[in-house]
RNA sequence: GGGGAUUUAGCUCAGUUGGCUAGAGCGUACGAUUCACAUUCGUAAGGUCACAGGUUCAAGCCCUGUAAUCCCCACCA
């Protein structure tokens, strides 16, 4: 196979993915139910388990992937590929989400566009219709996952409405029902009048808005006796003469006589809910109102009287200190109502119109009613004030409609035990969090968790398996029974008829089972893939999802569902702003994949990102990723060309073991170990596999050392989920070390076996992050076999450490020479001035290498007295053969340099002059400081000497 | 009100038990270049580590406080 001369990811990425998929390399190698009894690994899975499992947070089945998905996949797939290379049986389980509400909104919009409404169809019909709708749309998302390189086990894809998911959800629900954790309650729920469904607290978006706080006067009744809650009827407004509108000034002579001199003024932002008022609350400590507690006031625009009660909810500092209590339409008032056993009067219907109000207001929308109420109050002189305030208002996160707190019968989960158990396991550190602080945040959240409303009035979801009794005579039977037959509208049991609840589950109730259902966990069998090794998802889902998976996992399996949690932050635009359609700054990951390749995208989005942080992202980082891929491509082409040349010349690959260079005598530094010094001729310690190369010069020893360090650092980084750090290490090793120093040196000294070994190692190590280009190269290289995706993680390389360290000195020399040449006046100095050395074996032995790397034209021994410009090195005698005039022009730079070194020396000396430092600091640091001082002193002396010569 | 974070080079970010002269990428400036790569190579400039105290031989890192920015939860009658 021939390498194309340029890196074109678009030419091979999809073919490579198809080849992997066809070869079945994404599947775990160990099945769930082992045939041998070799898996005894219930404990200590982290290190000893042969299995590694991770699940994909399911993207919307009929949507497209956005940038956050891109990040998720890049992270999860990198982990998956890394542990696969480390030899684990790796199971990355893909998923697709029915996305209950999202999909429903899209579908309902379609329906409306065609002139229909949901209310024309029954639930089963709607479910079937949406199913078809999703089936038509489905597939894009999965293609995009493939384009991103997700090495997930496609046969195991779990859809959130799969039968096994529904089954498991029903089993859990039944267990909870039997355990008494499920109850039906009339509570205030967050209700969107447009979508006509309730939401969990967490699905509501609060926005700060300007609003008006109105002050309304409620007059005390003459007969100020306490009115017990029972005297207020639930349906107080039967159309009657009395509730007809009055003229503003007309004396009310009906039921009540008003004590006009005394009144109480309440503050409200929602005057229209006045009709649902059942009390006025004041603070017991509030001197202004103390005497009024227990008296009654007349509720304006009505013929009702309501009590004045004392409750801590009333804040004397806020408004007038008196607050009207409307338990059916306000969360706080609901609680006040419960404390005082007050009735709940619902005055707003589910579609946002007034009910249970005087006829004049009946059927108005809330806004219309508000206007009318204000107008009427004003006419009666009861509107006492109007202030504009800032307050936060709850909105539907999908359509922006103001959320109406609504009194509804719903299913609730009593979360007390669930939360308590979860907290215990979290405090027991059974789950490791990245970033760490999220553990505390989650515990804090669970400690304050309220009961969980799991009913949703959306047809597209898992039906709640509860049926309500309709046969009135069967009084002994329970009102509600559990039954799995949710495909039926009506069932009969023991002669009693029941109808199914129309509601569906909150999506998080089923999603909470994700690790359980994806891994096919069962009560009967040990499953080596549960708990998951890690749960990776967005930090914004900590409460909504992660918390619920933990509670459900513990409830169902008794074990935490995963050992570690990695939370990524939000991907922001290049300026650190949230991406949004309205701002027009949305970046589509697929566009970047098309433009720069999948690997470039993956490298770009992971780089510079740390756990839990919302961080900026720009195309530049993807370009930089593409450049690295290009570098890899060209490194490989170079090595392949050397291999080809070598095999063409010599007697085949076996001859490689003999060094092909003519410069063997020069290759090792004078300080190299042993006469032959072939450090790497030993065999591998673990298995008796002979290593395939010998090192023949210091650059080769050095690169082996650097690659070993790189391996260790990447392993460490991956263990700690420091992806960005791993990539940084790889960039440096591949680019700055391997390409810029080692390969440059190999243009002189060619060690074909070592080139092969090191290239393989680097390709494997970076494969998790750049899977396509590394596989493409692997397939192009003439000597490699199989797929890179299933290779083994590289072994440590053998090398001679002293020789490796000498190469470090050589790098220092070359860098200093380059810098000096640049700083000299004029251009092309490397060609003009010869480099001379005096009595320096390292330079002498490696003069060819130094000449090549520093790009100087000639390098000679200095014959005679020093001349030209002395290169600023403490331990090497090097001169650039520049004429005096040029050296004189360099004078300023030299002075600058002397001053700089002088400053460093001063600070070092100051440190040594501090007796406490010498006494208390670790000995090796003190020694280092001493050595550094010696070196600086030497250097400064030489530079001063040089300056004098000029 | 409760909780969590952030503040380091022009920009985006590293800097994990405190330890040599605080790093990277991008950007900038200057220079190079016939064959692995201009998606390149080399060199350089650029920092009061938000501020004020404290602990320590030693602080970007630990402690206290202040300021600014951001996120989450609750509340806002």
The 10s digit of each residue's pLDDT in A64-113 is: 999 999 999 999 999 999 999 999 999 999 999 988 777 887 888 888 89
What angle (nearest 5°) sits at the alpha carbon of residue A710, between those of residues A638 and A600?
Answer: 60
Q: Say how far A712 CA is from B11 C1', in Å.
A: 32
Task: Please compute the mean of the pLDDT values over residues A47-68 and round it to a whole number.
Answer: 90
Per-residue pLDDT, averaged over A459-476, amounts to 87
- pLDDT of A122 higher than 90: no
Q: How confident is the model at residue A494 (pLDDT cuts 50, 70, 90)?
A: confident
pLDDT of A655 over the 70 cut = no
Q: pTM value?
A: 0.87
The CA-CA-CA angle for residues A911, A915, A919, to 5°, reads 100
pLDDT digits (tens, 9 = 90+) for A430-439: 999 999 889 9
Mind listing the pLDDT tens digit for each residue in A138-159?
A: 889 999 999 999 999 999 999 9
Task: Give distance CA A419 / C1' B14 (Å).
Answer: 37
Distance in angstroms between the alpha carbons of the first and the last residue of chain A: 60
Residue A919 has pLDDT above 60, yes or no: yes
Q: Give residue A332's pLDDT band: very low, low, confident or very high (50, 70, 90).
A: confident
Give the SS3 label for residue A452.
Answer: strand
Which residues fall within 8 angstroms of residue A941, CB to CB, at 6 or more apart?
none
Mean pLDDT, to the nearest integer, of A805-809?
92
Residue A158 and residue A167 in contact, taking contact as beta carbons nearer than 8 Å: no
Q: Which nucleotide lies nearest residue A617, CA to C1'?
A: B12
Q: Which residue places its CA closest to the C1' of nucleotide B16? A: A720
Mean pLDDT of A267-289: 90
**A641 nearest nt, CA–C1':** B36
Query: Above 70 in pLDDT, residue A266?
Result: yes
- pLDDT band, very low/low/confident/very high, at A640 (cuts 50, 70, 90): very high
> Judging by beta carbons within 10 Å of its beta carbon (0-12, 13-18, 19+), is residue A904 exposed, middle or buried?
middle
Q: What is residue A650's predicted lDDT score, i.e. its pLDDT?
A: 54
**Element of type H or E holding A296:** strand A296-298
User: Residue A348 phi/psi, 5° resolution?
Assistant: -125, 130
Note the CA–C1' distance, A885 to B29, in angstroms.
Answer: 26
User: Where does the pLDDT of residue A352 fall: very low under 50, low under 70, confident under 90, or very high at 90 and above?
Assistant: confident
pLDDT reported for residue A47: 56
- With cut-offs at 50, 70 and 90, classify the pLDDT of residue A696: very high
- With CA of A268 and C1' of each nucleotide, the nearest comes out as B77
pLDDT at site A137 = 81
Higher pLDDT, A694 or A663: A694
Distance CA A442, CA A437 (A): 9
**C-alpha closest to that of A601 among A20, A10, A150, A74:** A74
Nucleotide B18, nearest residue via CA and C1': A921
Q: Which residue is nearest to nucleotide B42 (CA to C1')?
A: A818
Q: Is residue A692 over pLDDT 90? A: no
Q: Is the pLDDT of residue A386 over 80?
A: yes
For strands A532-538 and A490-493, give the pairing: unpaired
Q: What is the pLDDT of residues A159-172, one digit of tens each?
A: 999 999 999 999 99
Rounded average pLDDT over A349-363 = 91
Q: CA of A127 vs C1' of B15, distance in Å?
A: 54
**A762-794 pLDDT per residue, tens:** 999 999 999 999 999 999 999 999 999 999 999
Residue nearest to nucleotide B21 (CA to C1'): A904
Q: Find which nucleotide's C1' atom is closest to A543's CA.
A: B72
Number of Cβ atoms within 10 Å of the Cβ of A739: 16
Q: Is the pLDDT of residue A624 over 50?
A: yes
Task: Tell me what pLDDT residue A223 has.
Answer: 59
Closest residue, CA to C1' of B57: A917
pLDDT at A320 over 70: yes
Query: Distance in angstroms, CA of A507 to C1' of B19?
Result: 53
Assign A905 a pLDDT band (cuts: 50, 70, 90): confident
pLDDT for the residue numbered A550: 97
Tokens 């005087």 — which residue? Answer: A358
CA of A499 to C1' of B74 (A): 38
Q: What is the pLDDT of residue A33?
A: 66
Q: Give chain B positions with protein CB within 7 A.
A: 3-6, 11-16, 19-21, 24-26, 30-33, 36-37, 39-44, 56-58, 70-77
Length A310 CA → B3 C1' (Å):
31
Scanning every strand, the nucleotide with its C1' closest to A578's CA turns out to be: B70
* Beta-carbon contacts of residue A491 (< 8 Å; ≥ 6 apart): A467, A483, A485, A497, A498, A500
Work out the mean pLDDT of chain A and round it to a whole number. 86
> Does residue A244 surpass a pLDDT of 50?
no
Res. A659: pLDDT tops 90: no
Question: CA A734, C1' B11: Å apart?
Answer: 25
Q: What's the CA dihedral at A629, A634, A635, A641 to 10 degrees?
A: 150
In the structure, how far is the CA atom of residue A610 from the C1' atom of nucleotide B50, in angstroms?
22
Q: Considering chain A, what percentage of its residues have pLDDT values greater than 90?
A: 54
């Amino acid at each position: 196979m021939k390498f194309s001369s340029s890196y074109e990811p678009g030419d091979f990425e999809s073919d490579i993915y198809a080849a992997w998929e066809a070869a079945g390399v994404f599947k775990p190698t160990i099945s769930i139910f082992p045939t041998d009894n070799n898996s005894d690994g219930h404990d200590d899975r982290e290190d000893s388990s042969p299995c590694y499992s991770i699940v994909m947070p399911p993207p919307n089945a009929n949507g497209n992937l956005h940038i956050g998905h891109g990040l998720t996949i890049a992270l999860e797939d990198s982990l998956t590929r890394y542990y696969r290379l480390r030899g684990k049986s790796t199971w990355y389980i893909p998923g697709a989400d029915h996305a209950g509400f999202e999909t429903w909104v899209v579908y309902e919009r379609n329906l409306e566009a065609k002139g229909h409404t949901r209310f024309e169809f029954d639930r089963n019909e709607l479910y079937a219709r949406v199913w078809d709708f999703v089936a038509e749309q489905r597939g894009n998302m999965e293609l995009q996952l493939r384009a991103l390189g997700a090495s997930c086990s496609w046969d195991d894809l779990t859809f959130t409405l799969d039968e096994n998911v529904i089954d498991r959800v029903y089993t859990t629900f039944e267990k909870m029902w039997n355990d008494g954790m499920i109850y039906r309650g009339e509570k205030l729920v967050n209700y969107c009048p447009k979508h006509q469904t309730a939401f969990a607290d967490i699905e509501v978006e609060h926005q700060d808005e300007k609003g008006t706080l109105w002050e309304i006067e409620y007059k005390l009744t003459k007969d100020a006796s306490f009115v017990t809650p029972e005297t207020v009827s639930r349906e107080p407004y039967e159309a009657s003469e009395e509730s007809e509108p009055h003229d503003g000034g007309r004396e009310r002579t009906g039921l009540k006589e008003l004590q006009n001199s005394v009144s109480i003024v309440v503050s409200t932002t929602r005057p229209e809910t006045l009709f649902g008022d059942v009390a006025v609350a004041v603070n017991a400590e509030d001197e202004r109102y103390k005497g009024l507690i227990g008296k009654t006031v007349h509720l304006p625009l009505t013929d009702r009287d309501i009590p004045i009660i004392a409750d801590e909810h009333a804040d004397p500092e806020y408004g007038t200190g008196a607050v009207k209590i409307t338990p059916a339409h306000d969360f706080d008032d609901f609680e006040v109502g419960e404390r005082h056993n007050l009735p709940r009067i619902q005055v707003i219907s589910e579609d946002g119109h007034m009910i249970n109000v005087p006829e004049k207001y009946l059927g108005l929308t809330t806004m219309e009613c508000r206007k009318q109420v204000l107008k009427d109050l004003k006419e009666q002189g009861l509107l006492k004030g109007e202030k504009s305030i800032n307050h936060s208002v709850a909105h539907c996160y999908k359509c922006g409609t103001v959320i109406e707190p609504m009194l509804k019968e719903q299913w609730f989960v009593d979360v007390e035990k669930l939360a308590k158990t979860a907290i215990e396991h979290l405090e027991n550190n059974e789950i490791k969090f990245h970033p760490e602080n999220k553990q505390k945040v989650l515990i804090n959240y669970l400690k304050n968790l309220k009961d969980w409303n799991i009913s949703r009035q959306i047809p597209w979801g898992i039906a709640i398996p509860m049926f309500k009794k309709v046969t009135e005579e069967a009084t002994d039977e329970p009102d509600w029974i559990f039954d799995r037959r949710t495909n039926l509208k009506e069932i009969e049991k023991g002669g009693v008829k029941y109808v199914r609840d129309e509601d569906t589950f909150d999506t998080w109730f089923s999603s909470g089972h994700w690790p359980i259902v994806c891994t096919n966990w069962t009560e009967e069998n040990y499953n080596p893939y549960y708990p998951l090794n890690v749960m990776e998802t967005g930090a914004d889902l900590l409460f909504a999802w992660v918390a619920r998976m933990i509670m459900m996992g513990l409830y169902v399996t008794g074990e935490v569902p995963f050992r570690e949690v990695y939370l990524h932050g939000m991907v922001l635009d290049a300026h650190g702003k949230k991406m949004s359609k309205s701002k027009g700054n949305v970046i589509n990951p697929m566009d970047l994949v098309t433009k720069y390749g999948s690997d470039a995208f993956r490298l770009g989005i992971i780089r510079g990102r740390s756990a839990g942080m919302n961080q900026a992202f720009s195309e530049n980082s993807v370009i930089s990723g593409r450049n690295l891929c290009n570098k890899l491509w060209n490194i490989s082409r170079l090595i392949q060309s050397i291999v080809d040349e070598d095999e063409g010349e010599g007697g085949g690959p076996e001859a490689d073991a003999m060094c092909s260079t003519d410069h063997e005598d020069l290759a090792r530094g004078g300080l190299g170990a042993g006469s032959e010094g072939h450090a790497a001729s030993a065999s591998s310690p673990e298995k008796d596999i002979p290593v395939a190369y010998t090192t023949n010069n210091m650059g080769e020893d050095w690169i082996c050392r650097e690659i070993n360090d790189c391996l260790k650092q990447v392993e460490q980084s991956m263990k700690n989920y420091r992806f960005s750090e791993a990539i940084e290490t790889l960039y440096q090793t591949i680019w700055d070390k391997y390409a810029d120093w080692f390969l440059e040196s190999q243009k002189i000294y060619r060690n074909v076996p070592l080139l092969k070994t090191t290239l393989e190692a680097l390709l494997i190590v970076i494969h998790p992050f750049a899977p396509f280009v590394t596989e493409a190269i692997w397939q192009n290289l003439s000597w490699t076999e199989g797929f890179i995706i299933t290779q083994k993680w590289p072994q440590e390389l053998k090398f001679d450490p002293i020789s490796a360290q000498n190469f470090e000195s050589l790098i220092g020399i070359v860098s200093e020479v380059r810098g000096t040449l640049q700083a000299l006046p004029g251009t092309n100095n490397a060609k003009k001035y010869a480099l001379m050395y005096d009595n320096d074996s390292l330079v002498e032995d490696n003069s060819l290498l130094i000449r090549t790397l520093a790009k100087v034209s000639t390098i000679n021994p200095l014959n005679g007295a020093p001349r030209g410009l002395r290169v600023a090195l403490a331990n090497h005698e090097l001169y650039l053969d520049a004429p005096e005039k040029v050296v004189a022009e360099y004078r300023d730079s030299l002075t600058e340099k002397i001053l700089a070194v002088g400053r460093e020396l001063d600070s070092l000396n100051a440190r040594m002059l501090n007796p406490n430092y010498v006494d208390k600091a670790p000995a090796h640091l003190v020694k280092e400081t001493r050595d550094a001082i010696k070196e600086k002193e030497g250097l400064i002396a030489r530079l001063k000497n040089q300056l004098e010569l000029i």
